[in-house]
Copies of this chain bind each other. A is one copy, B any other.
């Protein structure tokens, strides 16, 4: 069914921007900047940080002292020369005029830019984010309510299975091993590989996938891929330990009913016996 055209508006294009070995300029060293540094390091970029030392947030200072991927300059933004060979710019300073000037220089050079707190000077926004190993989740309310974005982030965090990051890591390894065993891009083998991986991910739950080790992966490929089937965790030497985010209580879902039954029976016995005597 085609979507409701009238509803297709007012949003953003959510993207996972690739920064591996790219060069990011961060201007400013306060609280906001320290968060930006962390997000950019996660994406494997090199950082140049320009900010007077006096204003560095302790966490920013910690990053400068401990990360070998940050080049630090103890000064203000100087001009266009600071934008040479820069792939992305993030500013988080209080000087609105300087912010707007940096934005204009970036736009002339087609360098994507985010100026904290000045939406019209932003080519992109940061939403509220969750990270667990290779799993990343972003929640955006498109500027309507950062607080609600945070509240929803916490709700989402609580319902992502604890082992999701681990499971994704293991499935990624299994996929790499499968590609080594059955190489080739696209075509019949590509489709068969994709189908089998989908079958594995659909048949095993996330807690089970997270338990995969090298030995189990080898057996899964031998007894699953080679025979075009999906064995169970136990069939490849694993032992399920059920875990998840939803707990029906320590005694299982039928405990309340059973407890009630026993209590009811006991009450009736006491009542009837008492009447007898």
Q: Which residues of A contact B (CB under 8 A)?
A: 2-3, 5, 7-19, 38-45, 59, 62-63, 66-67, 88, 109-112, 122-127, 129, 131, 133-145, 147-148, 151-152, 155-156, 158-161, 164, 167-169, 171-172, 175, 197-198, 201-202, 206, 209, 254, 256-269, 272-273
**In the complex, which of the residues B39, B43, B124 contacts A16, with contact meaning CB atoms closer than 8 Å?**
B124
Q: How far, in Å, is A273 (CB) from chain B's closest CB?
A: 8
User: Could you say which residues of chain B place their CB within 8 Å of the CB of A13?
Assistant: 16-17, 19, 39-40, 42-43, 45, 88
Contact residue among B40, B148, B264, B273 (Cβ-Cβ distance under 8 Å from A265): B264
Contact A269 B272 (CB under 8 A): yes
Closest to A139 in B: B137
Docked-complex contact A15 and B18, CB < 8 angstroms: no
Most chain B CB within 10 A, of A2, A160, A273, is at A2
Return the chain B residue nearest A12 by Cβ.
B16
Selected from B44, B126, B201, the residue in CB contact (under 8 A) with A9 is B44
Chosen A-B contacts, 10 in total, with CB atoms closer than 8 Å, are: A12-B43, A15-B138, A144-B175, A145-B168, A147-B197, A155-B160, A261-B263, A261-B264, A264-B266, A264-B267
Query: What is the CA–CA distance of A39 and B11 in the complex, to the nearest angstrom?
Result: 9
A131 proximity list for chain B (CB < 8 A): 11
Q: Is there an interface contact between B268 and A260, defined as CB atoms closer than 8 Å?
A: no
Once bound together, how far apart are the Cα atoms of A70 and B240, in whole Å? 52
Query: 6 additional contacts, CB 8 Å, given A109-B110, A158-B159?
Result: A136-B142, A144-B171, A260-B263, A261-B261, A264-B267, A268-B268
Nearest-CB residue, chain B, relative to A144: B172
In the bound complex, CA of A148 to CA of B170 (Å): 11
| CA A194 to CA B199, docked complex, whole Å | 48
Q: Which of A13, A172, A202, A206 lies at the interface centre, i.e. has the most chain B CB atoms within 10 A of its CB? A: A13
Given A135-B152, A137-B137, A142-B134, decide whether A12 and B18 contact each other with a Cβ distance below 8 A: yes
Query: Are the C-beta atoms of B256 and A11 separated by less than 8 Å?
Result: no
Asked if B126 contacts A135 (CB within 8 A), the reply is no
